[in-house]
Amino acid sequence: MSEVYYKPSEIRFSRPQMLWLIEWLPVLEVGEYPKDPKDSGYTESPHVQTSHSSHAPFETAAQIYAEVTDRLKSTGESGEVLVHEVQHGLDVYELLSPPAKKALNYISGWRRREQSFARFVAQNNYRSKLNTKIPH
């Protein structure tokens, strides 16, 4: 697991965050949010303050897990390839296979995309063909 860490309040579903969340899907699935690797649990104060929340401890993990898996489901086999690659150590965008990159690009971003994955891929393929034909 990587040393990168994102607090729940920092999650915006960017590409790096999605790679990190996919890496942690098994932990999120059981209702736990990954622990900060830099947090030792030690405090200098003898009086430790705890925050009280009206939410159950598993809610944040469950909500993030649901959002990521729903986005992945919409990408079909490409999403499965992405999950497989990330959970087997490929967490750098440039090293991902083309189907995994397409899935990651589709699922990333603050809001879900309104267009289908197939339309997204077709549109990007069309744009990349146009860019190769235009002389620079």
> What are the domain boundaries of the chain?
8-37+54-133
With 50 as the cut, is the pLDDT of residue 50 above it?
A: no
Q: Using CA atoms, how far apart are residues 125 and 121, in angstroms rounded to an integer?
A: 6
Q: 20, 13, 21: which is closest to 107 by C-alpha?
A: 13
Task: Compare 49 and 125 and report the one with higher pLDDT.
Answer: 125
Q: What's the pLDDT tens digit per position in 68-93?
A: 999 999 999 999 999 999 999 999 99
Q: Work out the average pLDDT over 88-108.
A: 97
CA dihedral (43, 46, 49, 50) positive or negative: positive
